[in-house]
Amino acid sequence: MQGDGRASPIGAPPRRTPYAGTRRKLVLAFDIGTTFSGVSYSILDPGQIPIIKGVTEFPGQEATSAACKAPTIIYYDQEGKVKAVGAEALQDGIYERALEDNWTKAEWFKLHLRSEFNSPTGVGEDIPPLPRGKTVVDVLADYLSYLFNSTASYIRNTDRNGEELWAAFLSATHTSSLASSNEGIHLVLSHPNGWEGKEQAQMREAVVKANLVPSTPHGQERISFVTEGEASLHFVVLNGFLSDIRRNEAVVVVDAGGGTIDVSTYQGKDEGGVKSFGETSVSGCYFHGSVFVTLAAKEFIQKVLSQSDFLNDLEHISACFDKTTKLRFRDDKEPQYIKFGGTRENDSTAGIRFGQMKLEGAVMARFFQSSIECVVKAVLDRQQASTQGIRHVILVGGFSASDWLFDNVRAILSRRGITIIRPENNIVKAVSDGAISFYLDHYVHSRIAKVTYGIRKNTHFIPGDPEHQKRKHALYTDMEGRRRLKGAFAPIITKGTRVQELERFTFPFQRTKTSPEEVTNIRTNLWCYRGDDVAPKWMDTDFDCFTNLCTLRATMSPQRRVNSSGKSYYKITYDVVLLFGLTELKAFIEWEENGAIKTTPAQLIYE
């Protein structure tokens, strides 16, 4: 304890230990953002302390102003072939050629992966459509391929013996059959806090489609996921920004990006120099990123230009706003100007003089208001619910570079006793650097369940239970002569539960059928409940709040039985084991055979 009676600070990040593996390995982190994307990596040499590096050059990089990141843009021709991607898509002449050759631009495509359960109504109407004939997996695969090839060029050109190094990594990735995946390339993909297994499954599909890893179980082991909020926490710890945070005090990390604002709350511990963190509340994902400021501005500009000849330039004017005017805005008392044309372009009725469109400062401020309110509300809600006390907020992400956003959030939160910290260096690489740190340092050891998970089950019929009597229409008799009711819900874990990483949640099952084929192939649906009932018991109550998350599949050998009527049937008894505490759901099937416990992984199928 400090002399003032307060707990001592968490302090600087611990020194990373040497890599304990026996083979050289490359870890790549891809942060695919709505507007810009980044790559970080670490070459793991046995016995050496890993260092996190960033890819700081992309093909055509001179055409962009975002150091270390590439625009998340792809141009396709009419046959669906990639013609320009990333920074190359912003090079001189590309826009004109795209118009002449009728290319289609894919942008903001990350948002097409969004979870339907975490997206506000109508947000899809604002997102540019995907190119004709392309799925979001197709486009994501093409962009992943671009990032991968750009990384290959960067490492080959900047690392000593880069050509041989990359060739060795690539060969090991596609030829090794080691279940431990202890050589070659490992990928860490970050995603918004609100994404779940379905979105992760689509990202896995895109990785395989891009041929970054083989389509095998060993290839799948080379992919890890981390939320943008957790990656940002690792970046914050990595760079020592928690030196003022006390032990057992909660801290809010806000990753303000292009599409989403991701808010996470963590409590830190430091025991014997070993730092660890755990989530203290359900993480949040809000569609109030910087692109929605641009969309609000575009809507306003369109109204202003409705009777102007410059209405045809709406897309260009909006793009100029996005690149310059939005970034430099910091004073609502001063007018702002969107420079989009030459000095001969004028329209006084639309506020256009000498190729510049004038916007009053108060109007500019309105474009940002929903994003500011989103951050403030998310933080204050967590402060109110916290038992540890929240005095600090760390603001990272590309949108955090906006002085108007930062200054307004800081002014409001400071009145509630909250200090907001904005790292000055490399904030645009917070997620990709943090994703590498997640793989190497692994600071987070517990997470909070975002929803209630459970199984639809058939339960024993209790004649004296009014709830059972209400559902007598679902009554049946099973193969062993027992009266049962369909449609009950058995929660496995409830929303808000703190879960340790490797904590096991087990649910017993047994199946009886007349045919062995009906029980050999196990199919078990895992359901989510997203309503307000703390302990839902029946799925016909609040039915719209239940969603089928995924199907667990496995294969087993059933046992033949004979019932009291002399009829044969087949029965299997097993446990479904679920791990909710990792960054990706894992499932196993366990059963007893000849006195020993047998285990097999369950395949998770997301529809």
Q: What's the pLDDT at 272?
A: 64
Residues 505 and 578: beta-carbon distance below 8 Å? yes
Euclidean distance between CA atoms 283 and 272, whole angstroms: 28
Q: For residue range 412-463, what is the model confidence (pLDDT) as tens digits?
A: 999 999 999 998 776 778 999 999 999 999 999 999 999 999 999 999 999 9
* DSSP result, 216-227: SHHHHTTEEEEE
- Contact (CB, 8 A) for 11 and 2: no
Percent over 70 (pLDDT), the chain: 94
Q: pLDDT band at 118, cuts 50/70/90?
A: low
Neighbours of 74 (CB within 10 A): 25
Asked if residue 355 has pLDDT above 90, the reply is yes
**Helical ranges in 470-574 per DSSP H:** 517-520
Which is more confidently placed, 604 or 244? Answer: 604
Range 212-228 average pLDDT:
93
Q: Considering the chain, what is the average pLDDT of its residues? A: 90
Write down the pLDDT at residue 3. Answer: 36
Q: Where are the alpha helices (DSSP H) in 73-159?
A: 94-100, 123-126, 136-158
Q: Which long-range contacts (CB under 8 A, 24 or more apart) does 319-328 make?
A: 321/294, 321/297, 322/294, 323/65, 325/359, 325/364, 326/290, 326/293, 326/294, 326/297, 326/367, 326/402, 327/401, 327/402
- Average pLDDT value for residue range 218-245: 90
Q: What are phi and psi of 440, to 5 degrees?
A: -85, -45
Question: Tokens at residue 328, please?
Answer: 């430099």
pLDDT tens digits along 532-558: 998 899 999 888 999 999 999 988 877
Domains and CATH numbers, the chain: 25-226 (3.30.420), 242-422 (3.30.420.40), 452-605 (no CATH)
DSSP string, 31-49: EE-SSEEEEEEEEE-TTS-
Is the pLDDT at 178 greater than 70? The verdict is no
- Do the strands 36-44 and 53-54 form a parallel or antiparallel pair, or are they unpaired? antiparallel
